[in-house]
Amino acid sequence: MNAKAQQYKEMFIKTAPVEKILIMLYEAAIQNVKKASVCIDKHDIVGKSKYIIKTHDIINELSSSLNFEIGGKIARDLERLYNFIIEQLLKANVENSKEALTNVCNILANLLGAWQQAVMHLEKGKNNGT
């Protein structure tokens, strides 16, 4: 990525609403999991590990941003899901398990869909003045 594109990306992230960043993180994690799966097919151990580590970093960031006081049960449930995802990522990395990556991808896709719906309802409510 060239310097101007990197600058734009950094500015976007600094000014974007939290919910948009959250969606971007889920999308990036899903893409990394898919790339790791392709690397397993190609017997590219370095590439597989690279994309699994990137996904792991995203999940750690999501997990560390949970607010248990405000989020309550939902935050605790998300933490459990994130811990399971990390376990599956470790399994995928050690055992070259595409099944583990599929599990991760499915969970992330469901979470992404839920957040996208929540953001859509939030935006709809803002537009309706509620």
Domain ranges of the chain: 25-127
CA 10 to chain CA centroid, nearest Å: 18
CATH topology of domain 25-127: Four Helix Bundle (Hemerythrin (Met), subunit A) (1.20.120)
Positions of the chain with pLDDT lower than 50, given as ranges: none
Say if residues 88 and 100 touch (Cβ distance below 8 Å): yes
Q: Using one digit for the tens of pLDDT, what is the confidence trace for 78-112? A: 999 999 999 999 999 999 999 999 999 999 999 99
